[in-house]
Amino acid sequence: MTPTCDELIARLRAMGTPENVAGQQRFAIRGGEQLGVSVTDIRRLARGIHDHELAQQLWNSGIHEAQILAALVDEPAKVTLEQMESWVSQFESWDICDETTDELFIHTAYCEQVIPLWATREDEFVRRAAFAMIAALSIHRKDLPDVKVKSYFPLIEAAAGDERNFVKKAVNWALRNLGKFRPGLRADAVACAKRILLQSSKSARWIASDALKEFETKFGSDYVAAIKG
């Protein structure tokens, strides 16, 4: 029998500690009521549960860990565009953003629709969500052909100048994952990084340099040098 929302929240409260909350906040994990429960424990609690209505209740609780749990137990086929817009507008922390995009949003019917929209939004975590989705689908959505995924390189280039920490790290993450996990797009990823390196902003140079360093380690410096930007 599926546990109720109240039962799951009670279990989360029993697992959390103030010490863990303090530790999480040192790593910029924040937002809502925090209980101090690890993602590993939340994942363990979510096993075997798939319930869209329960997910809504957990999310609406406003409890940090309950919202992560909501993303893990929700049913992608039942998620609406309105729900995605509502949830993304409430992201306050990178962990909720990344767990929700990786575990839920990239598996919905609206994945491809929201990425180019969110990539141009000004809100820090909405924009991060777009690039976190690109990073995740590079690995987990092999049903999406390279010809579609290739359209995300211009989004990466356009956002590379965003100096905000949680955006630039997600842009870098998306670029690296496209190069590492999409062999057919490897040369495109290297070329994209080289073009970004020519941009004037500090964030763009960091994004490109870090990606190129990883590409050289993984694919060889000769390969990277042979690709034109």
210: burial class by Cβ within 10 Å (0-12, 13-18, 19+)?
middle
pLDDT of residue 184 exceeding 90: yes
pLDDT in tens, 34-86: 999 999 999 999 999 999 999 999 999 999 999 999 999 999 999 999 999 99
Report the candidate in 158, 144, 200, 152 with the shortest Cα–Cα distance to residue 176. 152
Per-residue model confidence (pLDDT) at position 36: 95
pLDDT of residue 191: 98
24/15 Cα distance (integer angstroms): 14
Residue 1: per-residue pLDDT:
86
pTM recorded for the entire structure: 0.96
Q: Which amino acid is present at 175?
A: L
Q: What are phi and psi of 33, to 5 degrees?
A: -80, 120
Predicted confidence (pLDDT) per residue in 112-166, tens digit: 999 999 999 999 999 999 999 999 999 999 999 999 999 999 999 999 999 999 9
d(CA 76, CA 133): 14
pLDDT above 90: residue 195: yes
Number of Cβ within a 10 Å radius of residue 172: 24
Say if residues 99 and 71 touch (Cβ distance below 8 Å): yes
Tokens of 190: 């290297």
Q: pLDDT of 84-95, one tens digit each? A: 999 999 999 999
Q: Which domains are present in the chain?
A: 1-78 (no CATH), 110-229 (1.25.40)
